[in-house]
Amino acid sequence: MAEVSRSGFPIGQPPAPVGGFPGMGGTTAEVPPSTPPAPAPQTAPVTATVPQAASRKRSGDTWWERVRFEVTDAVTSGALSERLIRASSAVEAPITTGRRIVVLGTAGGAATTTVAALLAKLLGSIRQEPVIAVDATDHSGNLLRYLGSSQAALLTELMQQFRTQSVRTLPDAVKHAASCGSQVFAAGRADVPALADAPIALQEWTDVSSTLSRFMAVTVVDGGASPLSRHAAALLGTAHAVVLVSPPGNPEAAKLASIQESLGKSFPDVHQISVVVRSRQNHEAALSDGMLPYDRHLASGSSLQLSRLGSRTRIAATELTGKALMAANRA
């Protein structure tokens, strides 16, 4: 296991991605000394973009929250750091064949895609095994963008390949997937508007998910925010575990309980995990089970970087990932 610092983050840089794509470089032209200064209107756009770039890269914690975490961890003799170590050990635990985890939201805007991206990123960075995240929502999602990929990787093309071509190796399996670093791959439904009236069928999803499980340690599926729909039923038909994402509040808690009961009757073999995601700042310092705290980095909507997560977010997300993987492994 990687050594962690007092604040609970891994020391050192993450491993290089497998099958990644070369980065985009650039050059800066030098201006001769004799060239007169550029007029003010030309420089204004450059200075205007600096605050925006900074806001996209800000840490999940404020400086005060980071100090508070350090003090709390010191006073409790490293209890929070130990909690992260135990959570990481659960993510590293041995598993059987490729596990399939479906993430479903109980309402639109519940952070379903954010949770799916977190699971995939943490599994890939901690386990160091191939992981694929699939945007199988019934609407156009943002999973690939959250995972940091600008590549078009259509799930429909991947399905077509699996139906018509033999898949014998990992490169074959990710031919139409995007590489997102740390052995994480992704495919999505950017063409979903044209498929809105044709949700994924059980048999075609069974075929593609079983093929992926031959090469991937874990398949994480973003199933959208319609957990009781026919579309979600197809995804749950091959799932080992389901993570239900809910906003906070008593009405939402009642809705979550109702959905859990319905899914338990329809899919008794699919183990359930639930998580409540806070969408705004909460000054409560306690880190509750089943709760993902508000995080400035996640709220920015930019591509997910684990190093920028808030300290408590990193702990809660790692614990959630370990619970989901253990639930899937029991199936």
Residue 47 CA to residue 44 CA, distance in Å, equals 5
Q: What's the confidence (pLDDT) of residue 10?
A: 46
How many other CB atoms are there within 10 angstroms of residue 174's CB atom?
23
Characterise 141 by phi-psi region: left (phi > 0), alpha (psi -120 to 50), beta (else).
beta
Strands 218-222 and 131-135: parallel
What residues are paired with 222 via a beta bridge?
103, 135
Q: What's the confidence (pLDDT) of residue 288?
A: 60
Residue whose token pair is 């959630």: 320
Q: What's the confidence (pLDDT) of residue 93?
A: 92
Characterise 91 by phi-psi region: left (phi > 0), alpha (psi -120 to 50), beta (else).
alpha
How many other CB atoms are there within 10 angstroms of residue 14's CB atom?
16
| CA-wise closest residue to 116 among 100, 102, 95 | 102
pTM to 2 decimal places:
0.77
Q: What's the confidence (pLDDT) of residue 156?
A: 83
Residue 314 CA to residue 305 CA, distance in Å, equals 11
CA 284, 288, 290, 294 torsion: positive or negative? positive
Q: Which helix (H) or strand (E) holds 65?
A: helix 63-75
Residue 173 CA to residue 183 CA, distance in Å, equals 13
Q: Which helix (H) or strand (E) holds 72?
A: helix 63-75
pLDDT values of the chain reduced to their tens digit, one per residue, 331 residues: 444 444 444 444 444 443 433 333 443 334 344 444 444 444 444 333 334 444 456 677 676 676 666 677 677 777 778 888 999 999 999 998 899 999 999 988 899 999 999 999 999 999 989 999 999 886 666 899 899 887 778 888 888 899 888 899 999 999 999 999 889 999 987 655 444 445 677 888 888 899 999 999 999 999 988 899 888 999 999 999 999 999 998 899 999 999 999 999 999 999 999 999 987 755 444 556 688 989 889 988 889 999 999 989 999 999 999 999 999 999 7
CA 112, 238, 314, 190 torsion: positive or negative? negative
Residue 235 CA to residue 256 CA, distance in Å, equals 19
Residue 303 CA to residue 10 CA, distance in Å, equals 19
Calculated CA dihedral for residues 267, 272, 278, 279, nearest 10 degrees? -30
